[in-house]
Amino acid sequence: MADPITHPVQLVQPDGRRVFDREHAALVSDIGPDRLRQLYEDMAVVRRIDVEATALQRQGQLGLWPPLLGQEAAQIGSAHALHPDDYVFCSYREAGVAYCRGVDTSLLTRLWRGVDHHCWDPADINMTNPAIVVGAQGLHATGYAYAAQLDGAEIAVLTYFGDGATSQGDIAEALGFAASWSAPVVFFCTNNQWAISEPVHVQSPTPIVRRAYGYGIPGVQVDGNDVLAVLAMTRWAVARARAGGGPSFVEAITYRMGPHTTADDPTRYRSAAETELWRRRDPIDRIRRLLEREELWDSDFEDRVQSRCDEIGGRVRAATIDLPDPDPAQLFEHVYTTDHPLIAEERRQYAAYLAAGESDAPPIAEGVRA
Amino acid sequence: MITTFAGALNTGLRRALEDDPKVVLMGEDIGRLGGVFRVTDTLQKDFGNHRVIDTPLAESGIIGTAFGMALRGYRPVCEIQFDGFVYPAFDQIVSQVAKIHYRTRGKVFAPLTIRIPCGGGIGSVEHHSESPEAYFAHTAGLRVIAPSDPADAYLLLRQAISLDDPVIFFEPKRRYWDKADIDVDALDDDPFPIDRARIRREGDDATVVAYGGMVRTALTAAEIAAGEGHSLEVIDLRSLSPIDVDTVEESVRRTGRLVIAHEAPVFAGLGAEIAARVTERCFYYLEAPVLRVGGFDIPYPPAKLERHHLPDPDRILAAVDRTLAA
Ligand SMILES: Cc1ncc(C[n+]2csc(CCOP(=O)(O)OP(=O)(O)O)c2C)c(N)n1
């Protein structure tokens, strides 16, 4: 077998030709024409959601958005490896994963518009809300997985995080706990080459996946712009977890095509040539070429995908614009699960203050950063 | 020079790097990018990546390794990207950095400056608008500083870096774009102590104490009050640990009334400390109970609600009205 680090697993080449790799291709041998087209459609829809949300931010409808442009294959490929009863612990960039898990797309922008701290009800799609504190979710996933194992549930837990996050103690500790407990957790690292302005080598001089080896956790590098390869290797890891094989690590090598968030300016730290190089490896173009080669592409299909993109894009836009500003009473809700005298007093006082008309509380935002 | 608050800090860091080869800057994205708020803009280009260090993405790592460098005679100035991300480093700060001088009975010191953009008002998402000052002020061994305008940002940063105590340096992020004309050479010669409060506006009817991002809000409130015939004295605390109670006491003895305004939740916040100390010292001079205006005792709310949470001039004036009516 080729060195998995110098040769990340790849099943489709950038020009759409299949790679001869019998071992890994076997993991996706059941993916026929319909499922291939579904993968394409999901990637196209997710790109549309992302482009729409980015535009909404530029138009002042969202405070912030973390684009996932270029990372569609990593998200859609991995999400397709999961069952509905598996559980996902995400970072802030996994809107595409949420889509695959069936989120109501009208909820995707709530947090980023600033009306709420959450987007969806985690129980609806077995997926946590966006985690802003980098790396924290790795430990949560490990604890959840261990608990599921104690309960005798045959599920896998998958946690997403970036290459930068692997520098956090929380991720290192999560690897240690998961290995010690043999917990059914999949560490899915989206190595998009950058942590805001820091290239991946600031985090680690050796390939990220090697970090897992030190804990005795098997891992694999996969071409993160190849949706089939990502699906295959995530299936491998998920199957291991479900079968009681313990944790594993998947490093998806991909690229963040856009800014870190809409507040970021990537021209300050990376070259246009680098971005251009990756544009040629675009994950959606790749599967389209595969479909064309395998004669699964026709104008009917193209139109169908287009109208699905328009429908969902329009839905995200309308839902965002229609979101009203929250009632100030929401400030005091759900701080505790039971009555709390201090909160009750503040709620009363502030309602009286507003009723007395002392303040129209003008908007104070002076700019948005993250 | 005409500069922003962020620009003043940038100049302060530049001069500190020039003056002392042992000063190093450490943090996430502070190099090429110049920090997410551009406070370290161009410094890596001019001083090299061994003095302006882009660290791995790990706050405990930043503070813990800075502490180690300090043990070897360096003077690290660390940037924590946002207030809400200092907590992974909390253990290093309060258990190690704060205690080393005491633990070694004065043999070892840790001259770290830990810069933290803090507070709300920029419409950001969760964990980007916190006011964690009370956690640090509660820890013996740390000094806590909060400048409110560009000149003081420069002066206090220069003084903080030259201190041998560890300093938590809170930069009110909604003020980063405030502009002023400052004379940095004059500031370098300014002997005004780092731990003394400043009276920003004189007045006789009531004293308003504020710090950091809230000072400008308090000054606006005082301006409005003046139009209504009330003269407010506004004190900018500057140092949150230690607190210059003398300056506040002197003012309250004259005005007889005190309102304290901060962004942080009121419960167990710095306002409580100031109120208690002023009451101890000025009980017979007070015409009314000391009042506090602050954030509600809730997690920092979503951006669309922060205008309700973050005290504005009207909320300060409502408290002023109450104290004047008493
Ligand atoms: C504990 C913590 N420190 C700093 C930040 C600020 N921050 C947000 S995202 C980010 C970079 C994360 O990079 P990576 O883990 O590679 O994920 P990516 O954003 O590239 O998907 C940083 C520094 C944060 N959110 N949490």
Six-digit token string for A31: 């993916």
Give, in order, the Cα–Cα distances in Å from A48 to each of A60, A313, B16: 18, 6, 48
Q: What is the mean pLDDT of chain B?
A: 98
Neighbours of B241 (CB within 10 A): 21
In angstroms, the separation between the Cα of residue B191 and the nearest Cα of chain A is 33
For range B9-14, the mean pLDDT: 98
Neighbours of A304 (CB within 10 A): 13
Residue A367: is its pLDDT beyond 70?
no
Reported confidence tier of residue A365, pLDDT bands at 50, 70, 90: very low
Is residue A67 in contact with ligand 1, taking CB distance under 6 Å? no
pLDDT classification of A6: cutoffs 50, 70, 90: confident
Mutating to test ligand 1, I would choose from A134, A189, A193, A256 the residue with most ligand atoms within 8 A of its C-beta, which is: A134
Cα A164 to ligand 1 centre (Å): 6
A165-215 pLDDT, tens per residue?
Answer: 999 999 999 999 999 999 999 999 999 999 999 999 999 999 999 999 999
Please state, as a whole number, how many other Cβ atoms lie within 10 Å of the Cβ of residue A2. Answer: 9
Out of A256-260, A354-358, B40-44, B308-312, least confident range: A354-358
User: Looking at residues A118-143, what average pLDDT do you find?
Assistant: 98
Residue of chain A with shortest Cα separation from B37: A369
Could you tell me the pLDDT band of residue A21, with boundaries at 50, 70 and 90? very high
Q: Is B103 on the interface with A (CB under 8 A)?
A: no
The residue type found at B169 is F
Q: Residue A247 pLDDT > 70, yes or no?
A: yes
Q: Judged by CB atoms within 8 Å, which residues 192-251 of B form the interface with A? A: none
Q: Is the minimum distance from the CB of A137 to ligand 1 under 6 angstroms?
A: no
* DSSP class of A15: T
Q: How close, in Å, is residue B33 to chain A by CA atoms?
A: 6
CA distance B248 to chain A (A): 27
- The H-or-E segment that residue A238 falls in is helix A227-242
* Residue A192 near ligand 1, beta carbon < 6 Å: yes
Three-state SS string over chain B comes to CEEEHHHHHHHHHHHHHHHCCCEEEEECCCCCCCCCCCCCCCHHHHHCCCCEEECCCCHHHHHHHHHHHHHCCCEEEEECCCHHHCHHHHHHHHHHHCCHHHHCCCCCCCCCEEEEEECCCCCCCCCCCCCCHHHHHCCCCCEEECCCCHHHHHHHHHHHHHCCCCEEEEEEHHHCCCEEECCHHHHHCCCCCCCCCEEEECCCCEEEEECCCHHHHHHHHHHHHHHCCCCEEEEECCEEECCCHHHHHHHHHHHCCEEEEEEEECCCCHHHHHHHHHHHHHHHHCCCCCEEEEECCCCCCCHHHHHHHCCCHHHHHHHHHHHHHC
The number of beta carbons lying within 10 Å of the beta carbon of residue B227 is: 7
Q: Please give the share of chain A, as a percent, with pLDDT higher than 90.
A: 94
pLDDT of residue A3: 67
3-state secondary structure of A17: coil
Mean pLDDT of A330-344: 97
Quick one: average pLDDT of A107-117? Answer: 97
Q: Is pLDDT of A360 > 70? A: no
Please, which pLDDT band fits residue A370 given cuts at 50, 70 and 90? very low
Q: Is the pLDDT of residue A49 over 90?
A: yes
Task: List the single best residue of A57, A129, A133 to mutate versus B (max B Cβ within 10 A).
Answer: A133
Tell me if B315 sits within 8 A of B297, measured CB to CB: no
Q: Are strands A194-195 and A198-199 parallel, antiparallel or unpaired?
A: antiparallel
C-alpha span between A114 and A189 (Å, rounded): 27
User: Which residues of B have a catalytic role annotated?
Assistant: 128
- pLDDT, one tens digit per residue, over B239-282 is 999 999 999 999 999 999 999 999 999 999 999 999 999 999 99
| Cβ <8 Å between B121 and A198 | no
A134 Cα: distance to centroid of ligand 1 (angstroms):
5
For residue A335, give the chain B residue with the closest CA.
B298
This complex has an ipTM of 0.95
Q: Please give the pLDDT value at position A2.
A: 57
pLDDT at position B23: 98
Which residues is B24 bridged to in the sheet? B76
Phi and psi (nearest 5°) for B166? -70, 140
Catalytic residues of A: 256, 260, 269
What per-residue confidence (pLDDT) applies to A363?
A: 47
CB contact (8 A) between residue A113 and residue B304: yes
What is the per-residue pLDDT for A357?
82
- Give, for A157, the enclosing helix (H) or strand (E): strand A157-162
Which DSSP category does A26 fall into? G
Residue A145 Cα to chain centre, angstroms: 19
B297 reaches A (C-beta below 8 A): yes
**Vertex A338: Cα angle to A333 and A344 (nearest 5):** 55
Question: Is the CB of B81 within 6 Å of ligand 1?
Answer: yes
Tell which one of B29, B55, B57 to mutate to probe ligand 1, the residue whose CB is within 8 A of the most ligand atoms: B57
* DSSP helix/strand/coil, A249: strand
- Of all residues in chain B, the percent with pLDDT exceeding 90 is 100
Amino acid at B16: A
The position carrying tokens 């890994």 is A24
Is B57 near ligand 1, meaning CB less than 6 Å away?
Answer: yes
Task: Supply the DSSP symbol for A356.
Answer: T
User: What is residue B122's predicted lDDT score, i.e. its pLDDT?
Assistant: 97
CA of A224 to the centre of ligand 1 (A): 19
Cα-Cα-Cα-Cα dihedral sign, residues B83, B88, B89, B95:
positive
Q: Which residue's CA is the closest to the ligand 1 atom numbered 19?
A: A195
Q: Which residue has the least CA distance to atom 13 on ligand 1?
A: A195
**Number of Cβ atoms within 10 Å of the Cβ of B213:** 26
* Number of Cβ within a 10 Å radius of residue A277: 11
pLDDT for A368: 42
Residue numbers in A near B178 (CB within 8 A): none
Q: Which of A168, A269, A331 shows the shortest C-beta gap to B33?
A: A269
Q: How many CB atoms lie within 10 A of CB A357?
A: 7
DSSP, res A326 = P
On whether the CB atoms of residues B263 and B237 are closer than 8 A, the answer is: no
Whole-number pLDDT of residue A361: 54
Q: Which of A173, A191, A196 to mutate to test the pocket of ligand 1 (most atoms within 8 A of CB)?
A: A196
Residue B326 pLDDT > 90, yes or no?
Answer: no
Contacts of B296 in chain A (CB under 8 A): 331-332, 343, 346, 350
